[in-house]
Amino acid sequence: MRIGIDLGGTKIEGIVMGEGARILARERVPTPAGDYGATLSALVVLVQRLEQAVDARALPVGIGTPGAVSRISGLMKNCNSTCLNGRPFRQDLEARLQREIRLANDADCLALSEAQDGAAAGAATVFGVILGTGVGGGIVVRGQLLAGPNAIAGEWGHNPLPAPREAERPGPRCYCGRQGCVETWLSGPGLSADHARYAGVELSADEIARRAQAHEAASLASLQRYEERLGRALATVINVLDPDVIVLGGGVSRIERLYEQVPRYWRAHVFSDRVDTRLLPARHGDSSGVRGAAWLWPTP
Ligand SMILES: [Zn+2]
């Protein structure tokens, strides 16, 4: 048995995963947003509750977080829930839980979960993408999460959108200080903002997708721009990594037509006469985060 935890901006979810990847217990607590000490305490309580539920102690714990742990400083960075940034989160939590923990970025957890027993099971190289309030990515090669010296493997959300058109320069401002990042175009809020610039109305990504399906012209056009940009952005990933499967997770990944439309657009930008990379929705949906975190401890 092992514990997987998904530390999100609004809630912290945890599971106990047993043999055959069965979920034996599941618990959820609200995230004490902006309060680092309270976040640590909430995690400790969650672990205690999960262990009580399965009558076990000192289980291995894996945690998916926004951002990443710097291998140089050991401090957290790149978190959109910024109370973690600059903190020795791993050391602090290990001290409280009195055990070694494993940490990974939430997009890494998605990639790992889907490569283990999800949409990309059996694939040699998997690129996992979160298209949600932000845009993240993770890479799994032959079952192993790729982790480099900068702890940013697969992070493509803050690359510039490739081959920008005139109207896409310099692009929207990003919280990271750059302009025209992939995230500013391809996150849920990015899609909403693009639609608002063209159509003059603020709609959620879900609502744009719903209206596009009902053949509302402005929403359909916004979704088509989104799909073309996603095709461009993923083509650069295919050119570098050549993954067998690209798995999409996060709120925007629920738009079904992406899986048919986006590969049509990436063809023009991939340096190959044919593209056999498959684009698939995450099989475990919102549970990919907790499952991937549990998979940070491989089965013996
Ligand atoms: Zn950025």
Ligand 1 centre from 44 Cα, in Å?
Answer: 32
Residue pair 93/218 in contact by the 8 Å Cβ criterion = no
**274 phi and psi angles, rounded to 5 deg:** -140, 155
Rounded to the nearest angstrom, the distance between the alpha carbon of 236 and the centre of ligand 1 is 17
CA of 180 to the centre of ligand 1 (A): 7
pLDDT 10s digits, 137-166: 999 999 999 988 888 899 999 999 999 999
Predicted TM-score (pTM) of this structure: 0.93
Those residues of the chain that have pLDDT short of 50 are none
Q: Strand pairing partners for 15?
A: 4, 26
Give distance in angstroms: CA of 265 to centre of ligand 1.
23
**Token output for 282:** 């995450």
Ligand 1 center–CA 174 separation, angstroms: 5
Taking the centre of ligand 1 as the mean of its atom positions, its distance from the CA of residue 117, in whole angstroms, is 31
Ligand 1 centroid vs 182 CA: distance in angstroms? 7
Ligand 1 centroid–CA 264 distance in Å is 26
181 Cα: distance to centroid of ligand 1 (angstroms)? 5
Residue matched to tokens 């997708």: 209
State the distance from the centre of ligand 1 to the C-alpha of 36, rounded, in angstroms. 24
Calculate the CA dihedral of residues 26, 147, 110, 278 and round it to 10 degrees.
Answer: -160
**68 CA to centre of ligand 1 in angstroms:** 15
* Nearest one of 130, 188, 189 to 156, comparing CA atoms: 130
Contacts of 245 (CB under 8 A, 6+ apart): 114, 119, 120, 123, 125, 126, 127, 277, 278, 279, 280
Distance CA 38, CA 29 (A): 12
Q: How far is the CA of 170 from the centre of ligand 1 (A)?
A: 12
* Amino acid (1-letter code) at residue 251: G
What local confidence, expressed as pLDDT, does residue 62 receive? 96
Rounded to an integer, what distance in angstroms lies between the CA atom of residue 240 and that of residue 269?
12
- CA of residue 26 to ligand 1 center, whole Å: 34
298 CA distance to ligand 1 middle (Å): 33
Tell how far the Cα of 184 is from the centroid of ligand 1, in angstroms. 7
